[in-house]
Homo-oligomer: A and B are copies of this chain.
């Protein structure tokens, strides 16, 4: 990993196009081609290039230019280095992966293992089921045999989530008769609640579970 503290200008052209006037920034170049330019505020890099990009350094007239190119989509990032304060190389050895818990995937697991969390008699049948117009989180049947679509959200569900659920329900209605749609989330925005009710869809409050340790990322190696 290469880290540079420098005063620089930045030019980007690709999916969009941007210019950034002179200022001090932290530049990080990773061995996989990821290229980050950070200003002194915000979590997000002001400019970047994704992994898989190729970096070159050229001398253009009197100043150094760092250039990172991505093919497909074609994107070019150029950094005019006006003043370089520090360059450091870090051979970072890292064989660990993040183990994260509290994801939507874990909510789904939990519901499969304990369908009563949704309602008595609920039977989950499919997970990540590709119906014609999208992929349903969980597809199952209720006590009365009605088809039930669950849309899971790990955090407060919004209008987008309701639209998603509605799309699935309507796609299945065409083929099967009555289809229930249940939004499964810790809470709802006000607008989501309104739309959900208008559309005759349902809500079941469920919190994403947090495991004790080790999510799916890295298993505790016992070898």
Contact = CB atoms under 8 A, between A and B. Distances in A.
Interface of A: 1, 3, 5, 15-26, 28, 30-32, 34, 36, 38-43, 45-48, 50-51, 85-86, 88, 90-103, 132-134, 154-155, 159-160, 163-164, 166-167, 191, 194-195, 198, 208, 210-211, 213-215, 217-218
A125 B109 CA distance: 48
Contact of A48 (B31, B43, B93, B191): B43
A16 to B, nearest CB: 3
Contacts of A46: 98
A19 B213 contact: yes
A133 B155 contact: no
Given A25-B92, A32-B40, A43-B50, A16 B100 contact: yes
Contact of A214 (B19, B92, B214): B19
A49 to B, nearest CB: 8
Given A22-B96, A41-B31, A43-B51, A90 B17 contact: no
Nearest to A100: B18
Contacts of A91: 24
Given A23-B92, A86-B90, A163-B164, 9 more contacts: A1-B38, A16-B208, A18-B99, A18-B215, A19-B213, A21-B218, A40-B94, A47-B98, A88-B88
B210 A17 contact: yes
A191 to B, nearest CB: 6
Contacts of A100: 16-18
A133 B195 contact: yes
A194 B25 contact: no
B155 A159 contact: no
